[in-house]
């Protein structure tokens, strides 16, 4: 009977996967929208990997830099997208890689059911995890959480099959899958903590010691090279990302957040049965290691409840235990529940029945939907128009985007730019100086995006577009693009003014004071104005002191070439100067004291307390991390025509020395989107606590 039940369960599993493939195919046939924020970032990373691997650059797997404002992402998920990212329909095509991860997740849950609860419970659990709204949402989005759930579930299945590290093959497979999980997302360890108990036990047992050590060694061998290469960038950015949109666990009812989040992520009938089943979980096989499945959910739930940023996708890798508990505690109700979830999965795509939502108390949600749509947000057209109009005298042209909507945002523009090969247009966001050094600006009318992400963008748009603004003086509208939400995107380009913005040949200003910088004793000597480019051929700048981000720079002398400026007048005359174009900046002299750099570190790295900086042939930094653990590093600055490099000589975290090979910081002197001009430094000297040029 057991054999026939297993065979029937297997055919049911195959039917479940075929059903999911049909649903995904139906969704893709009606979907054509740009990816949203994080989804576009993962697609762009996959595109970067594809380009570098095609050139034979395998080091990119370890050292590909992170996207602005994001931590580095472990590479496994993006590498599985590489075969699809070159296709014209890449955003849809790569979702078949997601289907492969869904299949791995579902098979792993089914396999766990075979080990711990029986074949029919395994099929029921596989059905539940495959059909819940959160899985359906992740199947249709370019995020690494579904692959992580698959790797975690497969690791627990392999560990269970190893009988406590008694079998070599499955012990090594378990270790390999733990390494794969860590190469999918850094947070994988939070779901795998209970496995550590078995590892410690097995390492202390003479019969299982070497299998446990080999398993752990394989896991570390797979994931440590990437983490070692990315550690200097990964650690500080993870601290910031974890607190993103954060609500502390002690604030209000935050401790119960996941009780409410699970109602929508699981669909309420599954959620209601799971709340009861988790209080007295039952696994029919009665194995000695059944506690591992319970601990898998409990530890993950507690950990992610404490973490301030709470989302259902963060708990998906711990949903498999709930799917195993419900059929064990409610065997008859589980049959009806599975039938309901199969319908729910279809309704998610086709929307036959509208969702039923109640927000009172812990919340209640039935039949979530995510309907596909065909919408052209004109991103490729905007990029193409800018590319056709750009200044050919520049190595590339920056385009600043004033919008952060779900389908019309910076990451989506970055992805579309690379997908269409528009290499001469680079993207920048709107910063405190708005759109300086950008030849183009795209501004969305109407809603700029959800209130939680647009911040000050509406006020910035008003300031830029009002009559008489410096933006209106420096830019002109060249095209308009209608968008699917009934608004338009306006494309502006830098004006090529026939006359110079300053009439005098020499301008002297006693002082300039803005929120971004302050300058004293400023002299500007203007060269010839080129009306064809709308720019000065040369401007010589001298300033007694220049304070940028709180850092005082003394004795500044610089030569600016190919430069366009817009004066901003205040009640007492010139108040600011906006820089719109620059091809080369030669910094002839400047000096910065060590104390000024220490102050910058203290302001920018809040976790570092009492930093000190020593400038004497090398740069040495010492500080206390969170006021407790001492952090120190020393680097040598090396200058050539293409970059200023800081080569790490030593580094330590408390008593622990860190490999000097971990970091090689590099400031390019060739144009980049942040500094879209050639930077020339005639020399660099570190002596007597002062960094000076030349």
pLDDT digits (tens, 9 = 90+) for 95-109: 999 999 999 999 999
Specify the pLDDT at position 520: 94
Cα separation, 579 vs 439, in Å, equals: 11
pLDDT-above-90 percentage for the chain: 70
Q: Which of 248-257, 396-405, 441-450 comes out lowest in average pLDDT?
A: 248-257
The mean pLDDT value of the chain amounts to: 90
pLDDT band for 664, please (50, 70, 90 cuts): low
Cα separation, 619 vs 690, in Å, equals: 10
Specify the pLDDT at position 647: 87
pLDDT band for 238, please (50, 70, 90 cuts): low
Specify the pLDDT at position 183: 97
Cα separation, 421 vs 202, in Å, equals: 53
Q: Mind listing the pLDDT tens digit for each residue in 141-154? A: 999 999 999 999 99
Cα separation, 148 vs 125, in Å, equals: 18
Specify the pLDDT at position 282: 83
pLDDT band for 232, please (50, 70, 90 cuts): low
pLDDT band for 362, please (50, 70, 90 cuts): low
Q: Which of 166-180, 278-292, 456-470 comes out lowest in average pLDDT?
A: 278-292
Three-state SS for 154-208 is HHHHHHHHCCCCCCHHHHHHHHHHHHHHHCCCCCHHHHHHHHHHHHHHHHCCCCC
Q: Which residue has the higher pLDDT, 411 or 647?
A: 411
Q: 572-605: string of b/e by CB count within 10 Å (b at 16+)?
A: eeeebbbbbbbbebbbbebbbbbebbbbbeeeee
Average pLDDT over residues 605-626: 87
pLDDT band for 248, please (50, 70, 90 cuts): low
User: How do the domains of the chain map onto residue ranges?
Assistant: 2-234+242-366, 379-494, 506-582, 593-693
Q: Which residue has the higher pLDDT, 393 or 337?
A: 337
Specify the pLDDT at position 465: 96
Transcribe 40-108 into DSSP letters.
HHHHHHHHHHHHHHHTT-TTHHHHPPPPTTSPPPPSHHHHHHGGGTTSTTHHHHTHHHHHHHHHHHHHH
Average pLDDT over residues 183-205: 94
Cα separation, 415 vs 67, in Å, equals: 12
pLDDT-above-70 percentage for the chain: 95
Cα separation, 72 vs 63, in Å, equals: 9
Average pLDDT over residues 196-217: 93
**Class (C level, CATH) for 379-494:** alpha beta
Average pLDDT over residues 627-638: 85
pLDDT band for 242, please (50, 70, 90 cuts): very low
Specify the pLDDT at position 652: 85
Specify the pLDDT at position 665: 75
Query: How far from 10 is each of 20, 21, 57, 106, 377, CA to CA, in Å?
Result: 15, 17, 42, 12, 44
Cα separation, 452 vs 40, in Å, equals: 19
Specify the pLDDT at position 469: 94
Average pLDDT over residues 606-612: 83
pLDDT band for 235, please (50, 70, 90 cuts): low
Q: Which of 153-157, 191-195, 527-531, 651-655 comes out lowest in average pLDDT?
A: 651-655
Cα separation, 317 vs 182, in Å, equals: 13
Q: Which residue has the higher pLDDT, 652 or 687?
A: 687
Q: Mind listing the pLDDT tens digit for each residue in 336-355? A: 999 999 999 999 999 999 98
Cα separation, 203 vs 541, in Å, equals: 68
Q: Is the pLDDT of residue 445 over 70?
A: yes
pLDDT band for 243, please (50, 70, 90 cuts): very low
Average pLDDT over residues 450-462: 93
φ, ψ of residue 134 to 5 degrees: the values are -65, -40
Q: Is the pLDDT of residue 258 over 70?
A: yes
First to last CA, the chain: 85
Q: Is the pLDDT of residue 180 over 90?
A: yes
Neighbours of 253 (CB within 10 A): 10
Average pLDDT over residues 247-261: 65
Average pLDDT over residues 524-548: 95
Q: Is the pLDDT of residue 70 over 90?
A: no
- DSSP H helices, 528-682, are 594-604
What is the model's pTM? 0.90
Average pLDDT over residues 645-657: 84
- Taking the CA of residue 214 as centre, how many other CA atoms within 13 Å lie in the half-sphere pointing to its CB? 13
Specify the pLDDT at position 63: 83
Parallel, antiparallel or unpaired: strands 690-693 and 506-513: unpaired
Average pLDDT over residues 390-416: 95
Helix axes 257-266, 291-306, angle to 10 degrees: 120
Cα separation, 176 vs 159, in Å, equals: 11
Query: What does the block give as tokens for 150?
Result: 């698959």
């Amino acid at each position: 009977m057991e054999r026939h039940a297993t065979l029937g369960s297997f055919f049911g599993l195959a039917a479940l996967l075929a059903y999911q493939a049909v649903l995904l195919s139906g969704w893709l046939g009606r979907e054509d929208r740009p990816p949203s924020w994080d989804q576009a970032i993962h697609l762009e990373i996959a595109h970067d990997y594809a380009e570098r691997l095609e050139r034979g650059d395998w080091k990119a797997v370890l050292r590909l830099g992170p996207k602005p404002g994001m931590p580095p992402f472990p590479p496994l998920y993006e590498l599985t997208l590489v075969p699809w990212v070159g296709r014209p329909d890449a955003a849809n095509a790569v979702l078949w890689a997601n289907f492969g991860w869904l299949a791995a997740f579902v098979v792993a849950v089914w396999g766990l059911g075979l080990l711990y609860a029986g074949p029919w419970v395994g099929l029921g659990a596989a059905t539940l995890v495959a059909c819940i709204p959160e899985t359906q949402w992740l199947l249709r989005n370019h995020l690494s959480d579904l692959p992580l759930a698959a790797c975690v579930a497969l690791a627990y299945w392999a560990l269970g099959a190893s009988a406590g590290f008694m079998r070599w093959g499955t012990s090594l497979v378990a270790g390999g899958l733990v390494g794969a999980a860590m190469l999918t997302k850094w947070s994988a360890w939070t779901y795998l903590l209970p496995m550590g108990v078995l590892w410690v036990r097995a390492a202390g047992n003479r019969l299982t010691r070497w299998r446990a050590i080999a398993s752990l060694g394989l896991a570390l061998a797979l994931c440590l090279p990437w983490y070692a290469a990315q550690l200097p960038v990964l650690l500080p950015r993870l601290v910031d990302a974890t607190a993103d949109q954060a609500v502390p666990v002690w604030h209000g009812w935050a401790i119960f957040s996941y009780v409410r989040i699970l109602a929508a992520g699981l669909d309420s009938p599954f959620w209601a049965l799971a709340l009861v089943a988790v209080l007295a979980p039952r696994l029919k096989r009665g194995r000695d290691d059944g506690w591992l499945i319970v601990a898998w959910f409990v530890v993950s739930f507690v950990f992610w409840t404490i973490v301030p940023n709470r989302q259902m996708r963060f708990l998906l890798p711990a949903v498999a235990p709930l799917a195993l508990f419900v059929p064990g505690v409610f065997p008859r109700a589980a049959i009806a529940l599975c039938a309901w979830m199969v319908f729910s999965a279809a309704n998610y795509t086709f929307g036959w029945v509208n969702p039923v939502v109640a927000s009172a108390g812990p919340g209640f949600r039935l039949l979530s939907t995510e309907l596909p749509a065909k919408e052209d947000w004109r991103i490729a057209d905007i990029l193409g128009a800018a590319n056709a109009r750009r200044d050919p005298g520049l190595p590339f042209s920056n385009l600043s985007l004033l919008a952060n909507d779900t389908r019309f945002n910076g990451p989506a523009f970055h992805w579309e730019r690379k997908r269409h090969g528009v290499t001469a247009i680079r993207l920048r966001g709107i910063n405190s100086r708005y759109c300086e050094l950008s030849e183009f600006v795209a501004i969305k009318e109407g809603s700029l995006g959800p209130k939680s992400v647009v911040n000050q963008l509406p006020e910035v748009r008003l300031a830029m577009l009002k009559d008489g603004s410096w933006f209106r003086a420096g830019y002109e509208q060249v095209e308009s693009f209608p968008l699917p939400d009934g608004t338009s995107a306006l494309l502006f380009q830098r004006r090529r003014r026939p006359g110079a913005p300053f009439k005098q040949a020499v301008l002297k200003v006693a002082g300039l004071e803005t929120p971004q910088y302050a300058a004293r004793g400023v002299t500007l000597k203007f060269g010839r104005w080129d009306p064809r480019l709308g720019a000065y051929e040369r401007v010589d700048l001298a300033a007694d002191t220049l304070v940028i981000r709180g850092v005082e720079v003394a004795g500044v002398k610089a030569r600016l070439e190919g430069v366009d400026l817009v004066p901003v007048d205040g009640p007492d005359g010139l108040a600011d100067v906006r820089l719109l174009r620059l091809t080369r900046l030669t910094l002839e002299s400047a000096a910065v004291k060590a104390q000024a750099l220490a102050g910058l570190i203290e302001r920018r790295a809040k976790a570092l307390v009492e930093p000190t900086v020593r400038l004497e042939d090398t740069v040495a930094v010492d500080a206390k991390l969170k006021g407790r653990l001492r952090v120190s590093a020393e680097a040598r600055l090396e200058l050539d025509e293409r970059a200023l490099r800081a080569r790490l000589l030593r580094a330590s975290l408390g008593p622990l020395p860190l490999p000097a090979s971990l970091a090689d910081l590099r400031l390019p002197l060739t144009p980049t989107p942040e500094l879209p001009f050639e930077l020339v430094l005639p020399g660099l000297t570190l002596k007597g606590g002062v960094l000076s040029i030349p």
